[in-house]
Chain A
Amino acid sequence: MSDKNQNFIVFELDDERYTTLPTVKFLNRKRWMKKDEKQVTAFIPGIIHKIHVKKGNTVKRGDVLLELEAMKMYNQVVCPLKQAKVKKILVKEQDKVIKDQVLIILE
């Protein structure tokens, strides 16, 4: 951070404005987004092993929606809502998915 040719930013805290250098981590910080519980996402990257539901199925909290193969385990992805209907299935068996990829949309 000691490079002389870095760009100063104006950093505001409690209504005071400070001229200062940013860190790499500060510049690369992730923007936060509220999680939509109706979108069921992969909590770990892996391969879709088996899909247990079909479009239009009614599901309740804890029902297994699909199995995600990751870390040498068949991990269960379950319904997070008390009661819901499967609106859309965005993956098929054997698909490789990344972390936080939307797998199923509920309504």
Chain B
Amino acid sequence: MFNFAFQNQKQEHMSIQQKSEDLKKRMQAALQGGGTKAIEKQISMGKMTARERILALLDPESFHEYDLFVEHAGKDFDMDKKYLPGDGVVTGTGTINGYPVCIFAQDFTVAGGSLGYMHAKKITKIMDHAMKLGVPLIGINDSGGARIQEGVNSLAGYGEIFWRNTMASGVIPQISVILGPCAGGAVYSPALTDFVFVVENISKMFITGPEVIKTVLGEEISMEDLGGAKVHAQITGNAHFYAETELECFAQIKKLLEYIPWNNRRKALPFPPKAPKTNQYKIENIFPADPQKPYDIRNIIKAIVDGSEFFEVMELFAPNIVIGFARMNGETVGIVANQPLVLAGVLDCDSSDKAARFVRFCDAFNIPILTFVDLPGYLPGIDQEHAGVIRHGAKLLYAYSEATVPKITVILRKAYGGGYIAMASSHLRADFVFAWPTAEIAVMGPEGAANIIFRNEIMNAENPEEVRRQKVAEYREKFANPYVAAAYGHIDAVIDPNSTRKFIIHALSISANKSVQTPKKKHGIPPF
């Protein structure tokens, strides 16, 4: 135990004032973390300290810290002679925009934020609180990894955290903020949580670092190129939000919390309804009727949602599908939309994963799902087939089919083949499917379809090109429209694009008490 000078004072009868003084001294000793030198080093790396981060994120005066006097449990390698203030992690509760949260922040200045037995106990204690209280959990990760001196106890600590992450999944929102290294086993706690935030030049996540890769494999790579913020936001899909500074990252977290509920028994808090800025986002100006022309689907979303405010999730990863939160008539909705601007909006391994997980988040937290459809199908390619586009693509079918929150789908242009089915079609139990008059709901595009159906006629014609063109036009006229699907009742209404908002708001309001009976089961087996 750390030998405080003031412990040697006369023990007789300290007054309450003296006792308070004693407490203050103890707190001061603990609050200095790893000391001036370590704090200077933290700052020189462009990072804030653990407590600074919590204070910057939470409402002023709202943070209440617990377990400040926890001491580490290391007995071997002379660890028993060391004092590690708070054992390298700060935990507590507070509010963000008045919204209650449980929070922990690893303190890199104390033994590199390494995770020992008591460090993990502090984290699991605050996780248990979050579960009991039904409030979101925010974890700020900045740690060198397991505390080697504590051996298997630090592994036990990680395991206890992972189990709680899994139990809390779908019960309370879990947010991980990577503000430093997060390596080895430590990465799996963020991976099990709902939203991972990373910051340029600060976040580093990997299973094995550049050193090990170099010795084992002889490959050289920098930490940033291996597992920096951009890599996880763009390539791996491990991160949901990317920021350039810690403060920008905190602003993103605050914004996210406004869109989601405290727990799975609640709904997100409503906001005052706001009309979209239809002067700036005029559908006839941003939307080309020609199905081969690109446009930014986010502008269509902004033309429809409250205040034209769309909070995008995973903006950089698989940008051929767009996901995010917005509000309709003041209520939070989750949006999934094909992005014709990128890769024609196709579904592939990454975009299916991205959308499927988001759909499951929305379903778990009572957030209705709005789907905008404009896609030519699945991405062809050997790399896609071999990467398992079958099982990845199946995740999206599963997620939509399983979701019981209100599901509303708007088909804008192309809805071809398997892509039509996957994108929240009525067959996967979308509650309402609307189509714009520009919609083409068909088994495939007119060119491809005509080439197959009229192959013989085209081949045997005197002027094949002429006949081909004729047949394509014929097919386009007959099938490249929403009316065939409407005739069979596969869609509920063909609507004027400018009435989309009205239809969606009505559909949402009458779906408020939607209830669905699902077969009794322990859980399904999604194609993970």
The answer to whether B218 and A15 touch across the interface, beta carbons within 8 angstroms, is no
Contact of A23 among B216, B342, B381, B386 (CB under 8 A): B342
Q: What is the CA–CA distance of A99 and B235 in the complex, to the nearest angstrom? A: 21
Q: What is the CA–CA distance of A71 and B377 in the complex, to the nearest angstrom? A: 41
The answer to whether A98 and B218 touch across the interface, beta carbons within 8 angstroms, is yes
The answer to whether A22 and B217 touch across the interface, beta carbons within 8 angstroms, is no
The answer to whether A14 and B320 touch across the interface, beta carbons within 8 angstroms, is no
Q: What is the CA–CA distance of A10 and B216 in the complex, to the nearest angstrom? A: 42
The answer to whether B344 and A18 touch across the interface, beta carbons within 8 angstroms, is yes
The answer to whether A16 and B350 touch across the interface, beta carbons within 8 angstroms, is no
Given contacts A1-B316, A24-B235, A25-B235, contact A19 B293 (CB under 8 A): yes
The answer to whether B319 and A23 touch across the interface, beta carbons within 8 angstroms, is yes
The digit string for A9-40, where 1 denotes a CB below 8 A from any CB of B, is 00101111111111111100110100000000
Residue among A13, A18, A22, A98 with the highest chain B CB neighbour number at 10 A: A13
Across-interface contacts of A2 in B (CB, < 8 A) = 296, 315, 319
Given contacts A11-B343, A23-B342, contact A32 B382 (CB under 8 A): yes
Across-interface contacts of B383 in A (CB, < 8 A) = 29-30, 32
Q: Which of chain B's residues has its CB closest to A16's CB?
A: B445
Across-interface contacts of A98 in B (CB, < 8 A) = 217-219
The digit string for A52-69, where 1 denotes a CB below 8 A from any CB of B, is 000000000000000000
Across-interface contacts of A99 in B (CB, < 8 A) = 217
Q: What is the CA–CA distance of A35 and B315 in the complex, to the nearest angstrom? A: 37
Number of A-B contacts (CB under 8 A): 86
Given contacts A13-B377, A32-B382, contact A20 B451 (CB under 8 A): no
Across-interface contacts of B32 in A (CB, < 8 A) = none
Across-interface contacts of A13 in B (CB, < 8 A) = 344, 346, 376-377, 380, 445
Verify if B234 is at the interface (C-beta below 8 Å from A): yes
Verify if B369 is at the interface (C-beta below 8 Å from A): no
Contact of A1 among B319, B382, B446 (CB under 8 A): B319
The answer to whether B293 and A29 touch across the interface, beta carbons within 8 angstroms, is no
The answer to whether B216 and A45 touch across the interface, beta carbons within 8 angstroms, is yes
Q: Which of A62-107 contact B (CB under 8 A)?
A: 70-71, 96, 98-99
Across-interface contacts of B320 in A (CB, < 8 A) = 23
Verify if B448 is at the interface (C-beta below 8 Å from A): yes
Q: What is the CA–CA distance of A5 and B155 in the complex, to the nearest angstrom? A: 48
CB distance from B375 to the nearest CB of A (A): 10
Across-interface contacts of B341 in A (CB, < 8 A) = 1, 20-21
Contact of A17 among B218, B292, B315, B382 (CB under 8 A): B292
Q: What is the CA–CA distance of A14 and B418 in the complex, to the nearest angstrom? A: 13
Across-interface contacts of A21 in B (CB, < 8 A) = 294, 341-343
Across-interface contacts of B292 in A (CB, < 8 A) = 16-19
Across-interface contacts of B448 in A (CB, < 8 A) = 14-16
The answer to whether B319 and A20 touch across the interface, beta carbons within 8 angstroms, is no
Verify if B80 is at the interface (C-beta below 8 Å from A): no
CB distance from A94 to the nearest CB of B (A): 13
The answer to whether A70 and B216 touch across the interface, beta carbons within 8 angstroms, is yes
Verify if B54 is at the interface (C-beta below 8 Å from A): no
Q: Which of chain A's residues has its CB closest to B446's CB?
A: A16
Q: Which of chain B's residues has its CB closest to A70's CB?
A: B216
Q: Which of chain B's residues has its CB closest to A17's CB?
A: B292
Q: Which of chain B's residues has its CB closest to A71's CB?
A: B216
The answer to whether A15 and B217 touch across the interface, beta carbons within 8 angstroms, is no
Across-interface contacts of A29 in B (CB, < 8 A) = 381, 383
Q: What is the CA–CA distance of A18 and B414 in the complex, to the nearest angstrom? A: 12
The answer to whether B444 and A19 touch across the interface, beta carbons within 8 angstroms, is no
Contact of B294 among A8, A23, A70 (CB under 8 A): A8
CB distance from B475 to the nearest CB of A (A): 12
The answer to whether B343 and A20 touch across the interface, beta carbons within 8 angstroms, is yes
Across-interface contacts of A70 in B (CB, < 8 A) = 216
CB distance from A13 to the nearest CB of B (A): 5
Q: What is the CA–CA distance of A71 and B208 in the complex, to the nearest angstrom? A: 12
Contact of A26 among B216, B234, B294, B343 (CB under 8 A): B343
Verify if B420 is at the interface (C-beta below 8 Å from A): no
Q: What is the CA–CA distance of A96 and B444 in the complex, to the nearest angstrom? A: 51
Q: Which of chain A's residues has its CB closest to B384's CB?
A: A29
CB distance from B440 to the nearest CB of A (A): 10
Given contacts A1-B316, A14-B376, A96-B218, contact A20 B342 (CB under 8 A): yes
The answer to whether A23 and B445 touch across the interface, beta carbons within 8 angstroms, is no
The answer to whether B350 and A20 touch across the interface, beta carbons within 8 angstroms, is no
Verify if B447 is at the interface (C-beta below 8 Å from A): yes
The answer to whether B447 and A1 touch across the interface, beta carbons within 8 angstroms, is no
The digit string for B329-352, where 1 denotes a CB below 8 A from any CB of A, is 000000000001111111000100
Can you list 22 A-B contacts with CB-CB less than 8 angstroms, sorted by A residue number?
Answer: A13-B346, A13-B376, A14-B448, A15-B447, A16-B291, A16-B376, A16-B447, A18-B340, A18-B344, A18-B376, A20-B294, A21-B341, A21-B343, A22-B343, A23-B319, A24-B234, A25-B235, A32-B382, A45-B217, A71-B216, A96-B218, A98-B217
Residues of A within 8 A of B (CB): 1-2, 8, 11, 13-26, 29-30, 32, 45-46, 70-71, 96, 98-99
A14-B447, A16-B446, A32-B383 are known; give 9 further A-B pairs, CB within 8 A. A11-B344, A13-B377, A13-B380, A16-B292, A20-B340, A20-B344, A21-B343, A24-B234, A29-B383
User: Which 10 A-B pairs have CB atoms at the shortest separation, nearest pair first?
Assistant: A14-B448, A15-B447, A18-B344, A1-B319, A16-B445, A45-B217, A32-B382, A15-B448, A20-B344, A29-B383
